[in-house]
Structure 1
Amino acid sequence: LGSPFTAPFNTNNWSEFFETWNSGASTTATICVVNQNTTTGGNDFALDDITFSTFCTNTAEVTVTVNPEPTADAGPDQSICVGETTQMAGSGGTTYQWVPPIALADPSNPNTDANPVITRTYTLIVQDNIGCEATDQMTLTVNPLPQANAGPNQEICIGESVVLQGSGGTVYQWSPVTFLDDATAQLPISTAVGTITYTLTITDNNQCVNTDQTTVTVNLLPDVDAGLDSMICENGTLTLQATGADTYLWSPLVGLSDPQSANPEASPLSETTYFVTGTDVNGCVGLDSVNIMIFGVAANSGDYIICFGDSVQANVLGGVTYSWSLMEGVSEPASNNPILSPEVSTSYTISVTSAFGCLAETEVNVEVLTLPIAGFTAEFDPSCDGIFARFDNLSGNAQSYFWNFGDGITSFDSNPTHTYEVGPGNIITLVAYNNDSLCVDSLVIDYSGQSFTNDSIQVEYANIFTPNNDGINDCFKPEVEGRFSECYEFKVYNRWGALLFEAVAGQNHCWDGRTKGGIVVPEGTYYYISVVRGMDHAGYVTVVYQ
């Protein structure tokens, strides 16, 4: 009638119990009692007063609706850095609860802000609108900040550089970037000119960021002063005076009593510039120098060169009193800048005394050069184009020349020639130079009182000549006073009118008694025609060989 059941078990005691079956339409029942005690003996189980009764039943129907669980979603796992805040991303229900609620701004908000300091796993419990629940988890990993280290504070002297010593990250950024060679380098070089604090921002592989600072102190250089430039007497001594630092080193060592003293004794034998290096308590170094002059005098030019008859003004510097050893040719022997006018090359010694009693000497040498002597003569001849002038240079002790012909034309030739227009003469000047044009002489001759013309030309012709090569009267041509070779023509014919010889302008040669073919003509009379500067002339000449 139903499923088996186990009767209550009580030791040495009776117990009432009941069980209900639904027999349906059956009116009989069979009861089977099974002893389940298999480990002990005796009368272990008994039934008494078994009573059967019936009861009526009725049935009814009810509908039970089983709703699905909500889909809880706690969002993806996230990573943050210590000190950061992130927003959770829960979803899937109508009410929410984050567990544990530690470091959450609102545990009942699915999108609450979270900022734990250690890694945590959060469980999100969600309920839908009928009370069904579901859960999901997410892990929020909290990464530690990198150990930013900007390095120790450092000190430098102005003008120096220092390497900043950053560490702790994979990406570096220094600020400010002022005076840094690379603000993104781990070890940048700073050339700061004033004290400055740098902030190092580093980023690690988790993109976590941290900062640190370091200060670069820039110390000023010591204001080292080596003292004023000074002058001492020859073989004298001077105490140098250095200030502005804590330790000193002088150089060069020559003439110094103690190069590491602030106030060494200096005894230089010649003008010397001493340099002092001063170091302060910060190790910064300053430099200065002092010039020590040995009292002496100097001429503005120790040597002068003048031409005979000239003078020069000397100039000796450095003292308060002066004395020239030679007085001849010296305008003021007690002056530092007298006029010197020697007639021969001379060496002067000047004794000079300083304001503090030092005595020194210097020398002035004057070399006297001989003068050139200008001289010339001139010859003037009428010519085709005007008046031809030839100059004979008679100058002595000269090296170069300059001619001014008086009509705007000049020349540097030694013995020039020049053609003037006809008319009054000119004033002619010759300038002679020697010693690289240092010394000069000139000569001026005035020819303006003379008049020159080429209008009247005298031409003479021989009536006989003997071309027998004896050197006497061997050649026949017009004889003209002046230079007209450029403007004359000369032709010779035989009695039959054959042209035997011809000379045209510029050739300036004569007939030697031969034909154009070089054949000696026989004795006899020959006809000639000449044209000199437009003046025609014709005549006869006889050739004789005896």
Structure 2
Amino acid sequence: PNSPGNPNHSGNCNNGVLKIDFQLPLAISTINTNTLSGCSPFTATLSNATPPLGANATFTWYLANAQTNTTLLNPNLTFTAAGQYTVALVVKDPAACNIKDSSALVFNVWPSPIVQFTTQHSNCSSTVAVLVNTLTGQTYNLNWGNGLQTNTVTTQQLNTYSVSGIYSVNLTGTNVYGCSATQFQTVAIIQFSPTLPTGGSVCAGQQLTLEASGGNTYLWQPSLGLSNYTNGTTVFNGSVNTQYTLTVQQQTLGQTCQTSQTLVVDVKPSPIAQFNYSVSSCGGGVNFFNASSADVQKWYWQFNATQTSTVQNPYFFFSGGGVKLVKLIVTNAFGCSTAFQTTLNAGVAPQLAINSGSYICSGDSALLFASGGQSYTWQPLEDFKNPFLASGFVKPLTSTSYTVIIKANTLSSACLYTLTTQVTVDYISQVKPITAVSNPVKIRQGETSTLSYLGDPGAFIYWMPATQPVSGYTVNASPQITQIYTVQISKGQCIETRTVLVEVYSDACNPDVIFIPNTFTPNRDGINDVLLVRSNALQSIYFAVYNRWGERVFETRNLNSGWDGTINTSNAEQGVYGWYIEAECFNGRKTFKKGNVTLLR
């Protein structure tokens, strides 16, 4: 009624309400994306999730990062620089009630780390240096390409490769945002470690092999006296001292590695071997006279396949006579040897003989015998009881050469012949006494004791019963009961034995570990004369024996002491006696036992 105009104030008018229902859609801009943050360069997939609109609806994406706006339905967006970016989607629909709507998302793009490094590597070197431009706030992981990694990286890192090849070195850096970046570089490694000869000495007239390896080209200079001057292996067969320079190259992976070595081959003079001889008119016997050069220091004569001599001017009897081949090898101070051989006719020899070499153990005797003569003289004389017999026993302390001078009648005259034989003396050990020990002597069941033979090396040692191993200077034994082991020692002609004890005790500590016989016979026949406590588990005892009236007739605290059946030095009467034992075992526990024993005579 107070409104302007001309209202109708009649009481006959009615009030009314008008309701208008708009059936028009709303435009609601909706954006979906796979992520809202990441490390640069960062790509996000934008998804237009706006509810369906009319046919004339349009969509416009307003992209940040100076990128061109787009009307694509689901565009991809890449951020190359770090920062915070807002992306908006504007939806327009003339048929919609609100005609237009917009929505926006904020993207956070973190900076990627800066990774910079250089490699320093000299040709033919297996060591690589990596120089890293380290930045505060970044961590690094360095992969050398050969399975090795360095997690704590400083400004300079070194690595030495053991195998030639091409390796990819990569450095990964990570910043505080968790963003990583990797840089790669390749290095070519040649493991150049050639093996070079150092020269040497060779006797005149002999050859020396020189070997080098680790390269693919070789050059020996000068080439004089060499079988080949471009191979790694060559043979020197020259006659004068020569100095060589060896150059070794390895060409691979674009690199040429080279090294040189100077070496000298020293040619030592070889001696001249020569000898003369004189055959005895008696036949068979020959005197040899060395005629070699003056620098000779050693002589080695070969009279047949088995008989030799190292005497400068030896005598030898050829028992069969006839034509023989004799060889002399001489050696000088440089170790150079030369041989000379010739055939000779030793004439017709009488049938003389001497036993071949003998082998004995120290302390034993050897029987020497000769035959075919009328008289005999053995030397050294003092080693024989009678040195003028055809045979005799000798007992040398060391290996000794024995000769016998035999007088034999031939068709022309009575001749003297000298024959030689050798007695070789073996011995078990110069270290005395020869012993075997166990350590420890006492063991618990299931434990092991070490058995050792104490003597010179070189002998064969065999243990019985079986040990682990069964032979050797030191073995292990794990017996289940107390055991005596026998060790057999053999060397050459010598064999000896020794014994060693290993006592075994049980973890149990009760009356069952104690044994006392129920009868003993102290009649001094050496059999069951003493009543003893037997056990392998006790370390101490108290042992007492009582008669039928309860009187103590014997007591001891000695494990190795027992009752001999006497009372005050007089023989005890036959009958039944009681005994009592208190014992402590090796494991520290205690037990006791009592019982009866019958004394019989």
TM-score, normalized by the shorter chain, greater than 0.5: no
TM-score bracket for the superposition, by shorter chain length = 0.3 to 0.5
Larger Rg: 1
More strand by share: 2
Per the normalisation by structure 2, the TM-score is: 0.33
**Normalising by the residue count of structure 1, what TM-score does the alignment of the two structures yield?**
0.36
